[in-house]
Amino acid sequence: VSRQGFTELMSNINARAKVVPLLPKLVNPIKLALSSTDDDVFEGALNALIQLSTVVGNELDKYLKTYLSIVSFLGV
């Protein structure tokens, strides 16, 4: 349900305006999901980042260090 809701939010015509203010609140949940040992959860987090990047573009840049450090730590 949450993945479907996230995808629907990202596909909304006004998604950028709605999502940019939420970015700080999305950092920790996505960070935790990227740290998960459950492959399905990890893939969901990667898909969320792809969708976020498409919608918010360079607004995501200030959070990339957080995400990339986790992915590089995992050796992915």
What integer pLDDT is reported at residue 70 of this predicted model?
73
Mean pLDDT of the 53-65 span: 91
Each domain of the chain, given as residue ranges in start order, spans 2-74
Question: Which CB contacts under 8 angstroms, 24+ apart, belong to 48-57?
Answer: 48/6, 51/6, 51/7, 51/10, 52/10, 52/19, 52/23, 52/26, 54/10, 55/10, 55/15, 55/16, 55/19, 56/16, 56/19, 56/20, 56/23, 57/16
Look at 74 and 27; give whichever has higher pLDDT: 27
**pTM of structure:** 0.79
Binned at pLDDT 50, 70 and 90, residue 19 comes out as very high
* Residue 16 pLDDT greater than 80, yes or no: yes
Mean pLDDT of the 1-11 span: 86
What integer pLDDT is reported at residue 14 of this predicted model?
93
